[in-house]
Structures are given as structure tokens and as C-alpha cells.
Amino acid sequence: MSAKTLLLLVPAITALILAIVLFPAFDTTRSRTPVADLVVKNAVIYTSDSAHPFAEAMAIRLGRILCVGNYSSVQDFIGSGTEQLDVEGKLVVPGFIDSHVHLIPGGLQMQRVELRDASSRVEFVQKVRKAVEGKTKGSWILGGGWNNELLGKELPAASWIDDVSPENPVWLSRVDGHMGLANSLALKMAGITKDTQDPAGGTIVRATNGEPTGLLVDSAMKLLLSSVPEVSIDERRDALVRASRLALKRGVTTVVDLGRYFPGVSAELVWRDFSDVYQWADSTGKMMIRVCLFFPMETWSRLFDLVKARGQAISQWIYLGGAKAFSDGSLGSNSALFYEPYVDEPQNNGLQLTDKDWLLEMMMTLDKLGLQIAVHAIGDKANELMLDLYDSISSTNGLRDRRLRIEHAQHLRPGAIKRFGQQSVIASVQPDHVLDDANSAERKLGVDRAQNGSYLFRSLLSNGARIAFGSDWPVADINPLQGIRTAVRRTPPGWENAWIPSERVKPSDALNAYTISAAYACFLDHDLGSLAPGKFADFVVLSTSSWDDFEENLSASVLATYVGGKLAYSSD
């Protein structure tokens, strides 16, 4: 037997050994070989496994992969009860992992006032007017998604909507979740007046006479949100179902959920969702996708107790990720923290939402306990602050596999790019934010700062950094195929050319960032992220019939989504 032949047999031999260990049930009438529940054949399988990137068939038993290779390598696993799925030459990829979502807020937003497409003041007001119709006096009108860049770059105000909502308090969050608009009745109910002081890490936007305009930025939102009634358990459970169905439709089989945790929102809500929604869904068999949960950093002791008692895997559906905090705000709300001021607000460098000393103390404690850390940082100063703190943690606590994360990492100075790779810090980034910021970044930061430091995906990869792609849904759509197109092309709607074309990435890099790298970024690469023996059989069947076509056209759509080897969504 030649060395080449032996090498080709290695995946099948490895799969057989794993199968015997992992799956002790056999068809004794045939042999000692385990019988697959499902065999996928006649496929172009992109595995996201660098050792064996492509295959044509896959055998699955009890939700996990037995073997990936050519059709002959899986035939020994076919028995009388094996279903054979002929995908007719279509491309099969690992189930997408969205590395940053707010799943329940996204599900709730699907039933609320949706302002994402509002492109004028008139349309904005009409949507609010329609939402108020039929509502009882005093009931809250909630929603969001508005983007002042689409409203003629004009920030909305309470005066826009007061006439159409005189008896109903209104709260409408900006698309990024770092700013929101309240009508005058909501401001009154929250006790926000001309004399109310800005809280630390937040801003009450005011007119020239000092009166609040209705806009609240970052931590100032908590002044109002405490007045908004809590969403019922049933509404939150329904939101999980809606969100999960949408995720499956888009080929997403796992999400990293940062919870209902935005600046100004109570950290307790995340824990309520864990017990009232996720544990309920898990115990009643209603989980459809896998979730990796991150919890507010200030609640670290509860998280540590839970991890100590249960480990990372609560079940095959729920994983405990780590703790999250905020370093700054957002570019769209002019609250991301920069070294230099905003061009359109020369007195404003953004907001540092969390005290540096508190962050360091908390993170040092969490790291000593072995908990993973993720911190939101968008501006260049916020990112370097986090890199400095992470370096202090590693230097003090010693070397180990930490997988520290920076969420967003949108704007970086040249020196910071290398540090991600050198310090093994994961950049958890969202490609589709490029579509929102391309039209505003140069105006807010100036051409040079924007062009040389925004969404540096290729530079991060070239400097040895791990990047994990996500959507930040409901801030942007939960749609990995769209995110891949954006990362590869970087062409916003209406543009003829790419924005910062030197930062475009290869399709394989983008796909890996939604699969194996995303799994690595939350310590789930032993179970998820690639189609390899022993891992969960989460995969997506795409409409394209070749890898070359996928790379060249990026026009594929999701035909079917499988979770644990079972059909969870079909376009039919």
C-alpha cells in the first residue's frame, strides 16, 4: 500500500475508531460497524477543517458525525435503517455560528415598531402613528431600528411624534442600541427635565435652551428604561421561538448571545431570560438552535457558581460562555471613544462607559477563576484600552488559553492591529456594520482616520489575529451569507466601488469566520464549527453546485438547515 493511499484512508480509519468509541450501538446482523442514521451524498462539502477541506459524503449517527470523505468511505456505515440524502451536487457547509447576537431582543423587535427602513421624517412619524392606533391610553409604544443617516442625517426629536402619541409613552431605540428617542410623555413619566444631570457614561441631548430633545445616549437611557414595564415571560418565550426560526432560515445553527444587555439596561434581565426562557425551552424540548450565553460582568459570581456546578455545557443546546462589559458607545451615536474628537462634534471624543480601574479589577478576578471575558470596544482609544488591560491580565496571571474577546473592534490605529495577533485576542466583528458606517465614518472621523482604521478584517488576519463574524442582530440582519458577501466585497448599497478595498477578505476566510473560528472564539471548537468526525452534525445545504461558483458569485441561498443531523428548516 502506497503512502498516498494510506494518507487518503486516514480520515476513514479515524472516523471508524471514533465511531466505535462514541457510538456503541451496532447492527449485529451485518458487522461491528455502527449504522448511520443519515448519509449525505452527492455533495460538495466544505468542511472548515483545514486538514481535509473538501469531501463528497458524510455519515451521521445520533446527531454526530461518523465519517466525512468520499462515498465509498461512508458505505460501511449504511444499514437498513439509514436515510440517504442526495443533495444533487449542492454545496454543503457547516452550520453558521453568529458570534454576536441579542436573540430575545431581536425576537421582540420583530413584533414592535420597525424603523430600520424609515428614510424620512414623514415616514418615521407615520410608522409611530400607525403603532399608536388601537392602543389603550397609557400603554407603551416600543420599537426601534431608526438610523439618522437615512433621515437626511437629522436626529429625531420628541417634537416629531408628540402630536401622534399624546396619551402613550414612546421609546424607540436607534439601530445600534446606544441611543433612543422618547416622546415628551415618556420623559415626564421618567422625571427627566431640564434640571436632570447627565449620568456617568451617558448624555441627555438638549436643545439650545437646555430642554431635553427626547434623545438619550448610552447610560442616560437607564433614566427612562426603569419606567418601561417588564416584558412578560410568554412574550419573551415567543420571541425566542421567532428568533430561532429566523436563524434557521438563514442557516444559523448556533449563536453567541449577549442577551438583553445594552447600556442602561438592567443586568438582571439577562439572568431572568436564562431561567425563564432558555432553561424552560431546554427542559420542554423547545430549543431549536444552540446558544452560548454571555452574562453581565457585574454578575460574575453567579456565573462562576453556575459554571462550577454545571460546567460549560448545560446541555447540547445551552453553553455558558463568559462575562461581558462595555468600554465605550457607538460611532452612530457619537459615543465610541477615540483619541481624536469627532469632526462633526469637535468637543466630543466619545464616552468611556465603564471605569478603567473597575474593569481591570473585575477582569483580573474573572481570569483567575478561568472565566472567558468579552468587552465591547468600537473607538480606537477604547480598543487600545482593552488591549492594555488584557495585556496586564496575561502578564499578572500567567500564560494560558484565555481566548479574550473584543466585541466589534471597529476602529483601530496601526499599532493595535498587530497586538490582536501578538496577544491572541479574538476580534469578534460584524461585517454588515460596514454597510451602515461607510456613509458616515468619513464625515464623523475624517477621510484619513476612516480610510486607514475602519473594519480592518484583512489586516487583522494578516497579522495573525483570529476573527469571528457575527451580526449584532437586531442591530443588523442575522444573515451570514450577506455578511460573507459584505466582507468579501465591501460595497455598500448604491456604491459602485468597495469601501477600503484593501480590507476585503477571501470567501474561505469569511466562511471560516462564521464557522470554525467562531466556534474557537467561544471554546466550542471541540463540538462545533467544522464537519469532522465526533462533532455535532450541524450543516447547511446551499443553492450553488460548486465551490468555484460560491467564491466567484457569492449568490448562494439556504436550501436547508440541519441541526444534529435532523432537518430544521427547508426552503420548500
pLDDT in tens, 522-572: 999 999 999 999 999 999 999 999 999 999 999 999 999 999 999 999 998
How many CB atoms within 10 Å of residue 3?
7
Weakest-pLDDT range from 57-71, 107-121, 243-257, 395-409: 107-121
pLDDT of amino acid 261:
66
Q: Please state the rounded mean pLDDT for residues 365-381.
A: 97
pLDDT of amino acid 544:
97
What ranges in 46-88 are assigned the alpha helix state H? 71-74
* Residue 10 in this model has a pLDDT that exceeds 60: no
* Residue 262 in this model has a pLDDT that exceeds 80: no
Task: In whole angstroms, give the CA distance from residue 516 to residue 321.
Answer: 16
In the 8-state DSSP scheme, what is residue 155?
P
pLDDT of amino acid 154:
86
Q: Kindly give, in sequence order, each residue whose CB lies less than 8 Å from that of residue 495, ignoring residues fewer than 6 positions away.
A: 438
Q: Kindly give, in sequence order, each residue whose CB lies less than 8 Å from that of residue 521, ignoring residues fewer than 6 positions away.
A: 99, 256, 403, 405, 426, 428, 466, 468
Q: Kindly give, in sequence order, each residue whose CB lies less than 8 Å from that of residue 361, ignoring residues fewer than 6 positions away.
A: none
* Residue 307 in this model has a pLDDT that exceeds 50: yes
Say if strands 566-570 and 96-101 run parallel, antiparallel, or are unpaired.
unpaired
Task: In whole angstroms, give the CA distance from residue 92 to residue 72.
Answer: 18
Burial class (CB in 10 A: 0-12, 13-18, 19+), 11: buried
* Residue 28 in this model has a pLDDT that exceeds 50: no
pLDDT of amino acid 63:
98
Residue matched to cell numbers 481624536:
340
Of residues 367, 283, 368, 272, the one with CA closest to residue 317: 283
* Residue 115 in this model has a pLDDT that exceeds 70: yes
Structural contact between residues 459 and 417, judged by C-beta atoms closer than 8 angstroms: yes
Give the percent of the chain with pLDDT over 70.
Answer: 94
In the 8-state DSSP scheme, what is residue 245?
H
pLDDT of amino acid 150:
85
Q: Side chain identity at 106, as an amino acid letter?
A: G
Task: In whole angstroms, give the CA distance from residue 52 to residue 13.
Answer: 14
State pTM to two decimals: 0.90
pLDDT of amino acid 266:
80
Q: Which residue has the higher pLDDT, 415 or 5?
A: 415
Q: Please name the helix (run of DSSP H) or strand (run of DSSP E) that holds residue 521, with its range, or none.
A: none
SS3 category, 181: strand
Would you put residue 469 in left (φ > 0), alpha (ψ -120 to 50) or beta?
beta
pLDDT of amino acid 79:
94
Q: Please state the rounded mean pLDDT for residues 167-179.
A: 92
Q: Side chain identity at 319, as an amino acid letter?
A: Y
* Residue 12 in this model has a pLDDT that exceeds 80: no
* Residue 343 in this model has a pLDDT that exceeds 50: yes
Task: In whole angstroms, give the CA distance from residue 290 to residue 286.
Answer: 11
Q: b vs e for 370-406, b when ≥16 Cβ sit within 10 Å of the residue's Cβ? A: ebbbbbbbbbbbbbbbbbebbeebbeeeeeeebbbbb
pLDDT, tens digit (0-9, with 9 covering 90-100), for 401-455: 999 999 999 999 999 999 999 999 999 999 999 998 998 999 999 999 999 999 9
pLDDT of amino acid 152:
79
pLDDT of amino acid 176:
85
When the pLDDT of each residue in the chain is averaged and rounded to a whole number, the result is 92
Q: How confident is the model at residue 151 (pLDDT cuts 50, 70, 90)?
A: confident
Q: How confident is the model at residue 7 (pLDDT cuts 50, 70, 90)?
A: very low
SS3 category, 162: coil
Say if strands 426-429 and 566-570 run parallel, antiparallel, or are unpaired.
unpaired
Q: Kindly give, in sequence order, each residue whose CB lies less than 8 Å from that of residue 459, ignoring residues fewer than 6 positions away.
A: 417, 503
Task: In whole angstroms, give the CA distance from residue 503 to residue 311.
Answer: 38
Structural contact between residues 66 and 77, judged by C-beta atoms closer than 8 angstroms: yes
Q: Please state the rounded mean pLDDT for residues 245-262.
A: 92
Q: Side chain identity at 143, as an amino acid letter?
A: G
Task: In whole angstroms, give the CA distance from residue 387 to residue 419.
Answer: 7
Give the percent of the chain with pLDDT over 90.
Answer: 86
Task: In whole angstroms, give the CA distance from residue 469 to residue 457.
Answer: 10
pLDDT of amino acid 1:
43
Q: Please state the rounded mean pLDDT for residues 206-224.
A: 93
Q: How confident is the model at residue 226 (pLDDT cuts 50, 70, 90)?
A: confident
Q: Kindly give, in sequence order, each residue whose CB lies less than 8 Å from that of residue 448, ignoring residues fewer than 6 positions away.
A: none
Task: In whole angstroms, give the CA distance from residue 376 to residue 102.
Answer: 13
pLDDT of amino acid 25:
41
Task: In whole angstroms, give the CA distance from residue 332 to residue 440.
Answer: 8
* Residue 27 in this model has a pLDDT that exceeds 80: no
